[in-house]
Amino acid sequence: MMDFPAYRPRRLRRNEKIRELVRETTLSPKNFIYPIFVGPGKNRAQPVSSMPGVSQLSVDRAVIECEEVQALGIPAIILFGVPEHKDSVGTEAYADTGVVQQAIRAVKEKVPGLLIMTDVCLCEYTDHGHCGVIKSGDVDNDSTLELLVKEALSHARAGADVVAPSDMMDGRVGAIRKSLDQNGFEYVAIMAYAAKYASGFYGPFREAAESTPQFGDRRSYQMDPANADEALREVELDIREGADIVMVKPAMAYLDIVYRVKQKFGYPVAAYNVSGEYSMIKAAGRNGWIDEERIMMEVLFAIRRAGADMILSYFAKDVARLLHGQ
Ligand code: PBG
């Protein structure tokens, strides 16, 4: 590299055309996965107060949302279910008549071509709000695996393209892969929430999914925010067990992890720009404290720059509209 004055970095910043030519990172609607909360009822859209622009939708309304997502050029959705009835073992999670299973079938029929991913977890379906079966006051790993396998299979039977276990039980990716293969679903992919931290940024999601733990917290299964090497071990395990895409979650406060995972494994990496990250930007924007659009783009570019191939984000529709100049 030459020194100043031979090298003047400002030459390449003089106008938008030249800035575009040298831009290193791209952001397109194609990079996004849009999360949708499906609940009971008909023609029902219940706004989530802490997440402006996001609602819990009945199946018919979720289909309409999917049509919009598809029209905006966003390739995929991820479905979260909020069942009418919860119990201690999350029965609705693996019922073929569950809200997510119904939504998968309806979206496949009405909006073919949209990739359907599903969140595989029990916390939205259990009355105690934990991500598995409770034994002696804690989530029991191995008996939870059986239920997660049933849930993933039931999503696959309904037509899901990708299942995404978000529970953080040990061994779940391997267990799910094995049973998908045994049941003829060898082409259903697994996107593992591989490095998922015990984060305060999930607060608004828990309002949306009605999944706040009724006692204790998730620190015995989700990762300690202080750890980074452990995230690489978690990712390595999930890859060995058969994960096709590995996810880091949350995104904004964990960009070092996104970067290291991409560098070390060279696998498709997803980053989850979670509910709290969305709500903070929306809230500050609404107060006039920050420029919401600008900060949204800055954060999403940062996540891509760190190495994420794809981003799960409640901003997906906003970004797509902005990129389409609408
Ligand atoms: C389910 C799950 C959670 C999120 C995604 N899947 C909540 C949690 O672990 O408490 C959070 C997503 C968000 O905050 O946007 N286990």
Probe ligand 1: pick from 166, 172, 315, max atoms within 8 Å of CB? Answer: 166
Q: Are 104 and 64 in contact (CB under 8 A)?
A: no
**What is the Cα 3 distance to its own chain's centre?**
44
- Residue whose Cα lies nearest atom 10 of ligand 1: it is 202
User: CA-to-CA distance for 4 and 10, rounded, in angstroms?
Assistant: 11
What is the pLDDT at residue 87?
96
Q: Are 237 and 261 in contact (CB under 8 A)?
A: no
Q: Residue ranges of the domains in the chain?
A: 27-323
Tokens of 62: 């979720």
Question: Strands 269-273 and 310-313: what pairing?
Answer: parallel
What is the pLDDT at residue 121?
97
Judge whether 249 counts as a catalytic residue. yes
pLDDT per 10-residue tile (average), the chain, 326 residues: 96 98 97 98 97 98 98 98 96 97 98 98 96 95 98 98 98 98 98 98 92 94 98 98 98 98 98 98 98 98 98 98 94
Which residues form ligand 1's pocket by a CB distance below 6 Å?
Answer: 119, 121, 123, 131, 166, 202, 205-206, 274-275
- Coil/strand/helix, residue 196: strand
User: CA-to-CA distance for 261 and 232, rounded, in angstroms?
Assistant: 6
User: CA-to-CA distance for 305 and 297, rounded, in angstroms?
Assistant: 12
Neighbours of 85 (CB within 10 A): 10
Give the single-character DSSP code of 291: -
The CATH number of the domain covering residues in 27-323: 3.20.20.70
DSSP β-bridge partners for residue 196: 249
Q: Is the pTM of this model over 0.75?
A: yes
Per-residue CA distances from 296 to 139, 253, 322 (Å): 36, 15, 11
